[in-house]
Amino acid sequence: MVTQEDFERARNDVAYRNRFVDEIELNSTRKYVKKVIYELKNRVISLDGVPAAMQSCPPLRAYFGLSGGKSTIKIFPRAFLPTVHLKLDDFLSTLIDHEAFGHSRLAFEGVDPFLPQEVGVMYEHIERLQKRNCSEQYRDQVLIELRKLLTGARKEC
């Protein structure tokens, strides 16, 4: 289990981030996720030029509609910026409510885990984050992302 203090430490101490991500409890989403890794180099840049904070990498079988595979979730340095995740619950909401319950679960079910599903993933993400102690800033940001998606301003996960 990780605490708000651990999250603050991981924000300030890059060397601690691998251990921090290892200690996160995935609870019931564990069955969809092979591993969570911290990746210093982020090659995933979205169309609006913003680097991703996290990314689910589905197992190959999911691309062939085969169920039962587990995803790897990558966490990039941007996930530790206060402008992206102000609180631990913001960070956990992106990781668990969006990546694990959303993309990784769909991949596990053998559904194309990406673009066609993003709106549904976002709606569930918003529903699940209500149960967390997220910051106002984060809640607003998630709603803005959904609006961008619905208006076609955003085209990727």
List interacting residues with Zn ion (CB under 5 A): 157
Closest approach, Cβ 15 to Zn ion, in A, equals: 29
Minimum distance from residue 61 beta carbon to Zn ion (Å): 20
Find the shortest distance in angstroms from Cβ 121 to Zn ion.
5
In terms of CB distance, is 142 or 157 closer to Zn ion? Answer: 157
Nearest residue relative to Zn ion (C-beta): 157
Residue placing its CB nearer to Zn ion in the complex, 9 or 57: 57
User: Judged by CB, which is closer to Zn ion: 75, or 157?
Assistant: 157
Nearest to Zn ion of 19, 139 (CB atom): 139
Residue closer to Zn ion (CB basis): 26 or 157? 157
Query: Please, which residues have CB within 8 angstroms of residue 83's CB and are 6 or more apart in sequence?
Result: none
In the complex, the smallest distance separating the C-beta of residue 78 from Zn ion, rounded to whole angstroms, is 14
Rounded to a whole number of angstroms, the minimum distance from the CB of residue 119 to Zn ion is: 10
Judge whether 154 and 145 are in contact, CB under 8 Å: yes
How far apart, in whole angstroms, are the C-alpha atoms of residue 137 and residue 1? 24
